[in-house]
């Protein structure tokens, strides 16, 4: 059975883009593959969260994974920092990762452009830690977005370099993987780009948002003055609203507003009100599950301990074999 590994940074609550872009597929693939899903708290340290925020964010991500349908009895859900084996493999891979190739990584160059006051070694070696996350379980499939494809390519590079250096074929080549038929890119509410935590305020609909917050955000979504020619192309901001509607609204609702747009008599206020109600209906069961699981501390702790045990069994085997290959052997 193929092994799938994927993680999400513990930098705050999950949003609708996380759900449709990744977690919905995770809930399906957990029944068909050997899946490891982890909360990437090591990765989040590059932004220097406070200790309180770090723990809160880890718990929030874990709870929301569970609320979305991941089953800890079926897949392996764990916290990245619960595996010291990952940190050790990260160290060992770093011995054969070169500064020049790391400095050429697109995401690193983008980060130092945006945050020139926080150019830390963790950002530089981010792809090495991602490689360790993947290779520690000898994953064959990795669900990644377009922005992570270069990191996955580097994971293959580091694995192949290890193989050549030690004359082995220990690590395979993890490949990009999309479980669904198409990759879903969920647009934000600010009229441009995808939904994200770090974008403008009000850009994202979070899984924990209550009905009033969802309605408020939807009514503030960016629109324009409306079409002036029948059957005209939609500007990005309007196309984004229709894209969101296709995720949660009925075909009759979508058809109604498509016709209104093409006939130049659409009322954006009505569209946003309808979309808000459809969003509330779709998200309410997930939101309620989040609130219920949050209160059940014993259950959350049980999930963490189970995930740690299952992940450690896989990771310990890999790190012991890697040590033997390298020559780090006990006397």
Exposure string for 172-206, b = 16+ CB within 10 A, e = fewer: eebeebebeeeebebbbbbbeebbeeebeebbbbb
| Cα–Cα distance measured from residue 25 to residue 5, given in angstroms and rounded to the nearest whole number | 13
Exposure string for 124-149, b = 16+ CB within 10 A, e = fewer: bbbbbbbbbbbbbbbbbbbbbeeebe
φ and ψ of 8, to 5 deg: -135, 135
Report the relative pairing of strands 175-176 and 3-9 from DSSP bridges: unpaired
| Cα–Cα distance measured from residue 233 to residue 264, given in angstroms and rounded to the nearest whole number | 12
The encoded tokens of residue 219 equal: 């009514």
| Cα–Cα distance measured from residue 323 to residue 28, given in angstroms and rounded to the nearest whole number | 35
| Cα–Cα distance measured from residue 48 to residue 41, given in angstroms and rounded to the nearest whole number | 11
**Residue 185 known to be catalytic:** no
Catalytic residue, from 111, 141, 217, 272: name it.
111
The encoded tokens of residue 278 equal: 């459809």
**Residue 289 known to be catalytic:** no
The encoded tokens of residue 166 equal: 């030690």
Catalytic residue, from 194, 289, 310, 312: name it.
194
Catalytic residue, from 24, 138, 185, 197: name it.
197
**Residue 146 known to be catalytic:** no
Catalytic residues: 111, 194, 197
């Amino acid at each position: 059975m193929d092994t799938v590994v994927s993680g999400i940074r513990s930098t705050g609550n999950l949003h609708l883009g996380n759900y449709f872009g990744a977690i919905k597929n995770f809930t399906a693939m957990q029944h068909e593959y050997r899946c490891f899903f982890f909360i990437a708290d090591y990765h989040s340290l590059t932004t220097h969260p406070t200790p309180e925020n770090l723990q809160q964010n880890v718990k929030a991500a874990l709870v929301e994974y569970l609320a979305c349908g991941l089953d800890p009895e079926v897949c392996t859900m764990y916290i990245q920092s619960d595996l010291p084996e990952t940190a050790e493999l990260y160290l060992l891979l770093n011995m054969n990762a070169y500064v020049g190739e790391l400095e050429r990584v697109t995401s690193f160059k983008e980060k130092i452009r945006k945050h020139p006051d926080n150019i830390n070694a963790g950002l530089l070696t981010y792809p090495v830690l991602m490689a360790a996350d993947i290779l520690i379980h000898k994953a064959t499939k990795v669900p990644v977005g377009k922005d992570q494809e270069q990191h996955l390519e580097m994971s293959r590079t580091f694995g192949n370099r290890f193989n050549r250096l030690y004359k082995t074929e220990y690590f395979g080549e993890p490949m990009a993987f999309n479980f669904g038929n198409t990759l879903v890119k969920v647009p934000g509410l600010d009229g441009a780009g995808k939904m994200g935590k770090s974008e403008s305020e009000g850009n994202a609909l979070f899984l924990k948002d209550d009905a009033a917050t969802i309605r408020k955000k939807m009514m503030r979504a960016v629109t324009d003055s409306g079409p002036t020619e029948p059957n005209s192309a939609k500007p990005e901001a309007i196309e984004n609203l229709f894209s969101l509607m296709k995720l949660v609204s009925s075909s009759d609702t979508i058809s109604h507003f498509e016709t209104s747009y093409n006939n130049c008599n659409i009322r954006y206020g009505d569209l946003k009100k309808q979309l808000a109600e459809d969003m509330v209906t779709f998200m309410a069961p997930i939101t309620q599950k989040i609130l219920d699981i949050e209160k059940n501390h014993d259950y959350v702790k049980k999930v963490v301990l189970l995930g740690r045990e299952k992940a450690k069994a896989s990771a310990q085997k890999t790190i012991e074999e890697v040590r033997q290959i390298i020559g780090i052997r006990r006397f």
